Chain A
Amino acid sequence: MQKINRNVVLALLSLTSLVFLLFQLCYYKLYLSQKNGAAFSKVRGGQPGQDSTRWHVVRKFLGLLSSHNIPVYLIDPLILGLVDKDLEQIRSSSDGPSPECKYFCAPRDFTTFALLDKTWKHEVGLFRTAEKMGFQWLKIINKDPRLDGMDDLSGMEIPLHYIFKLASHAIHLVVFYERSGNYLWHGALRLKQHMDRKFVPFRRLHFGRYPGAYEKPELLLVSIDDLKVQIPKNPSSFLEEMSHSRFLECRYREARAFFQLYPDDASPDSVEFRKKAKSLLHLAALTLNNLGVKFWLSSGTCLGWYRQCNVIPHSKDVDLGIFIRDYKADIIPAFQKAGLPLKHKFGKVEDSLELSFQGDDVKLDIFFFYEEDDHIWNGGTQAKSGKKFKYLFPKFTLCWTEFVELKVHVPCETLQYVEANYGPEWKVPLKTWDWKSSPSNVQDNGVWPVDEWDDVIQIY
């Protein structure tokens, strides 16, 4: 009896084991196919059916839009990347049929297009036709950020993204809006509760994780894989722009709360100062952008943006930051040409460089930032004593934002940046500020050797 039992147990165990093994195999396969659909389709790349599906979906979609006179342009990073390699050839090639489907058949889940909001009228007809053609579509709407800065305005929600799905391929249509500061903006893709979050694998979309800011692109009409489509004239610079396009909205709600606590100063002096600071900032941005030098709002100007979405009227100057690796010798002459004479120059390119230009009553300070392994710093110099100071910041990356009708960079990690500079009490406005002692991240950094003074302390 015992023997039989033992045998039965053994047999049972083997059976379970076998079942488990099978189950595991099935499960694993299922899991793999779910996760790496792209990888699998790459394997299946050779099958013509799969490839031409993508091409057909794109063709249908382009046909749909052109029948409604809606101009879109291609911003799909994958295809633009391929196109960029053969740009010359594509540009010069005539309309003759292309031998192979090289771009629109490339394996991918989505094709991404951009639509300028002001070029269409939100007709409902488009979606009816789309449905007739067999597309399933999803519209993602949200609040209009252009009204966000306003007290208590509630407009209609605006469409930010559309997704058109047909067969196994989906088209992601990103809606771009023009904003004050002469740039284009697209919103983040956020699903509302009732939405179908399995409609497409949203995580793999190239646009929509964050809002983005772009220059208005110049477009080029080309024929790719026998499809006429508009693309950015310079795909590689568009792709470059795309990689740093993350946009931060000003914290309007917090700014309103701040003004509740500390009412805004609307005296003629501060109105005048803000006006001048704004025009100085516009001029500085123009000059630096022309040189191709990346800059961001720093110190008081950054605090003004972060805390109150405006220039702090008692701040007396405009502060910008530039990474020392972006330093160019033409910066000084370019500013002088723009009508901003150099006021002082402290430090040198190797150490603690700081430039000051004199605007119309308002000073423009440019601080150069030096990157270390675990922090970033900029330097300060006291003219009369030759003392050096060092201001330490945690590492940061740059994001776009809108400030006084200008698209500018700010540190993405703004809170850490502002707190490093102004301490945890940054929310409380201070009228007196000593740049040598007030900042909470200031460190003494020795004294310039006297023989270098002529070079590192230049005052005009």
Chain B
Amino acid sequence: MEEWKPNPAVKPHKKRSWYLAWKYKLMNQRALRKLCQTGAVLFLLVTVIVNIKLILDTRRAAYEEEEESAQDYDDEMLNVEAPRHPINNKKVLDVEVYSSRSKVYVAVDGTTVLEDEAREQGRGIHVIVLNQATGHVMAKRVFDTYSPHEDEAMVLFLNMIARGRILIFTIKDEGSFHLKETAKNVLKSLGSQVAPFLSWRDMWTFVGKKGGEVYGEKHAKSPALSTWGDPVLLKTEVHLTSVEDAECHWPDTELNRRRKRFCSKVEGYGSVCSCKDPTPIEFNPDPLKDNKVFDVPVAVIAGNRPNYLYRMLRSLLSAQGVNPQMVTVFIDGYYEEPMDVVELFGLSGIQHTPISIKNARVSQHYKASLTATFNLFPDAKFAVVLEEDLDISVDFFSFLSQSIHLLEEDESLYCISAWNDQGYEHTAEDPSLLYRVETMPGLGWVLRKSLYKDELEPKWPTPEKLWDWDMWMRMPEQRKGRECIIPDISRSYHFGIVGLNMNGYFHEAYFKKHKFNTVPNVQLKNVESLRKDAYETEIHRLLGEAEVLDHSKNPCEDSFVPDTEGRVYVMFIRMEQEADFTTWTQLAKCLHIWDLDVRGNHKGLWRLFRKKNHFLVVGVPASPYSSKKPSSVTPIYMEPPAKEEGAVAVPAVAAAEQT
């Protein structure tokens, strides 16, 4: 192939020829060439493999690292939050309402929102309020309009409902007997055509929008007095509005955001949800000067009575010296609405899943609440314990601030309570006066941490004991002769009617006429004289200056106490031993004060007011103050009416359950 080389004419081929020559040369060394080629291929293959491996390695390393970091910081409890289905997309709700003698139910879009077929329960008009934009149930009530005054409550409720809400009515059993004209007119104004003519044992269902259209109404007349109307089933459609239309347009502040959340969920709280000038939800009461209870945690014990809780928290947050950060609401049960109320006021709330029944449940709820309170505020030496059915006096914290040091320093004290069991309108007078009493009143009180942690918590009654916590706390094994400090005029007011332990009559008789302090900044009198020994000196001084009343008169008569003001009187009753309260109970009964069990005594002495005079009652000879009795005076003895014993026994049980 040498002859190729001397061919310079073909210039462009020169390079190529050089290449070819090189190739040729190589070709000549075939073996070497082959080797090089294979070597190159091998080398390339190895490079490729190494590359792939490296990429895989780095990838895995990076992945592992990520994985690890994720695992380290992952919540072990993978709270898979079920996505909430927005029902907003739907424009129309199917509503079914059923009314009959023994059963009512309401279904919204196939979901039963009310079903009541219990016997002897749920009689009257059931009302359900739906949010017109979301279709959520905002309130559920039943008004037993067979009974008196329930229709008034219903009118009140219906008036509170915001315009535009969807109202569903259905009657169970009977709902017309005490349904008065006013109530019927309100129903008529909602668009009901039947309501004005509702009569005995009629069945009735009605769906309408407040201040707007009617979606449907059905009625079945009762053919005769002894029979009920036929069951009626109303099926209708409700058109939803947009969310914007269903909300008020309050200025966008943190408070109003809370309000908005609350008002779109629940109904029946009146002006707090008014679009125009809503009631404030922040109160900013004047701070207390030198507030000794600013750092004391406040535990509010609540059940499922959100309207009560709402009223209670309003009064609590309006009290001077309140520190909202220290307030925790403990809700007995997994209820939403009380929690909504708590969040409305920006407080913290804790729900307690019930573990036992009735009274034992209350008792366990108390224990859990108290323990949690001291856990959450480990620095606290005390805790204020309140219940959801109390109004709190404007000077509640001022009262505690002035007296709490006694609880810290005087070992003979068991508690400070805001409630005077005997402080009725006609028996309490002096907002600056305090007493020591052997009975623990509860209803707004202060508990010392050491008492709870060292004594009460370790032996708190277990659920199977079914004990009332307050009765248990009053037992001598727990109280150990210690006393509570109470004011003459209560700093709390018990407004609860419908509770586990309450009925209407009972409340009317024993709680309604209780005196409640409304004066702010009361300067307490002589707080130091409440200490154990000082108090004895004080009592002796009082008894020394007291005028002995005419023991020949009937102590129940008004004339027993002279028509004076500001004097101190004493009377002596028979009290054979420490536990002999026969005469006292009769006296309490005729004075219309707490007589269901013995309250408010201190060593056989009771202190109250009659006709604006301080009125002392000494039990002779059991009381150590008996020595003050002039020898000429015979202690008064009042016999219990023998026949009424059975009648007395019933409220006595109720008394045992009073908290």
Q: B378, A150: Cβ atoms under 8 Å?
A: no
Which candidate, B46-54, B192-200, B312-320, B397-405, is the interface stretch facing chain A?
B46-54
Interface residue? B76 (CB, 8 A): yes
**Which of A124, A151, A193 counts the most B-chain CB atoms under 10 A from its CB?**
A151
Residues of chain B from 54 to 91 with CB closer than 8 A to chain A in the complex: 54-55, 58, 62, 65, 68-70, 72-76, 78-81
Interface residue? A232 (CB, 8 A): no
When each residue 325-342 of chain B gets 1 if its CB lies under 8 Å from chain A and 0 otherwise, what string results?
Answer: 100000000100000000
Q: A147, B376: Cβ atoms under 8 Å?
A: yes
Asked, given contacts A151-B368, A152-B368, A155-B348, whether A266 binds B69 with beta carbons under 8 Å apart, the answer is: no
CB distance from A209 to the nearest CB of B (A): 6
Interface residue? B503 (CB, 8 A): no
Query: By the criterion of a CB under 8 Å from any partner CB, how many residues of chain A are at the interface?
Result: 57
Q: B69, A201: Cβ atoms under 8 Å?
A: yes
Asked, given contacts A179-B378, A274-B458, whether A17 binds B47 with beta carbons under 8 Å apart, the answer is: yes
Q: A150, B462: Cβ atoms under 8 Å?
A: no
When each residue 243-282 of chain A gets 1 if its CB lies under 8 Å from chain B and 0 otherwise, what string results?
Answer: 0000000000000000000010010100100110000000
Q: A208, B73: Cβ atoms under 8 Å?
A: yes
Asked, given contacts A150-B372, A182-B378, A203-B68, whether A21 binds B47 with beta carbons under 8 Å apart, the answer is: yes
Given contacts A24-B51, A24-B55, A178-B378, 14 further A-B contacts (CB under 8 A): A10-B40, A10-B41, A13-B48, A20-B47, A20-B48, A20-B52, A124-B254, A146-B375, A150-B372, A152-B368, A153-B372, A154-B350, A178-B379, A181-B378
- Residues in A whose Cβ lies below 8 Å from that of B81: 194
Interface residue? B37 (CB, 8 A): yes
Interface residue? A431 (CB, 8 A): no
Asked, given contacts A146-B375, A190-B74, A203-B69, whether A27 binds B40 with beta carbons under 8 Å apart, the answer is: no
Q: A34, B62: Cβ atoms under 8 Å?
A: yes
Partner of B378, one of A35, A180, A208: A180
Chain A interface, >50% SS class: mixed
A-B complex: 6 closest residue pairs judged by Cβ atoms: A152-B353, A203-B69, A20-B51, A13-B44, A155-B350, A190-B75
Roughly how many angstroms separate A118 CA and B380 CA in the complex, as a whole number?
A: 13
Interface residue? A23 (CB, 8 A): yes
Q: Which residue of A lies closest to B334 (CB)?
A: A154
Interface residue? A329 (CB, 8 A): no
Roughly how many angstroms separate A178 CA and B368 CA in the complex, as a whole number?
A: 19
Residues of chain B from 352 to 398 with CB closer than 8 A to chain A in the complex: 352-355, 364, 368, 371-372, 374-376, 378-379
Interface residue? B15 (CB, 8 A): no
CB distance from B67 to the nearest CB of A (A): 11
Interface residue? A450 (CB, 8 A): no
**Which of B334, B349, B371, B458 counts the most A-chain CB atoms under 10 A from its CB?**
B458
Q: A151, B355: Cβ atoms under 8 Å?
A: yes
- Residues in A whose Cβ lies below 8 Å from that of B254: 123-125
- Residues in A whose Cβ lies below 8 Å from that of B72: 202-203, 209
- Residues in B whose Cβ lies below 8 Å from that of A152: 352-355, 368
Q: Which residue of A lies closest to B378 (CB)?
A: A180
Q: A275, B37: Cβ atoms under 8 Å?
A: no
Asked, given contacts A191-B75, A203-B68, whether A266 binds B459 with beta carbons under 8 Å apart, the answer is: yes
Q: A146, B376: Cβ atoms under 8 Å?
A: yes
- Residues in B whose Cβ lies below 8 Å from that of A34: 62
Interface residue? A41 (CB, 8 A): no
Q: A193, B75: Cβ atoms under 8 Å?
A: yes
Interface residue? B454 (CB, 8 A): yes
Interface residue? A16 (CB, 8 A): yes
Can you report 11 A-B residue pairs in the complex whose CB atoms are below 8 A from each other? A13-B41, A23-B51, A146-B372, A146-B376, A156-B348, A156-B349, A190-B74, A191-B73, A191-B74, A203-B68, A271-B459
- Residues in A whose Cβ lies below 8 Å from that of B52: 20
Interface residue? A121 (CB, 8 A): yes
Q: Which residue of A lies closest to B351 (CB)?
A: A154
- Residues in B whose Cβ lies below 8 Å from that of A191: 70, 73-75
Roughly how many angstroms separate A125 CA and B257 CA in the complex, as a whole number?
A: 12
Interface residue? A40 (CB, 8 A): no
- Residues in B whose Cβ lies below 8 Å from that of A268: 459
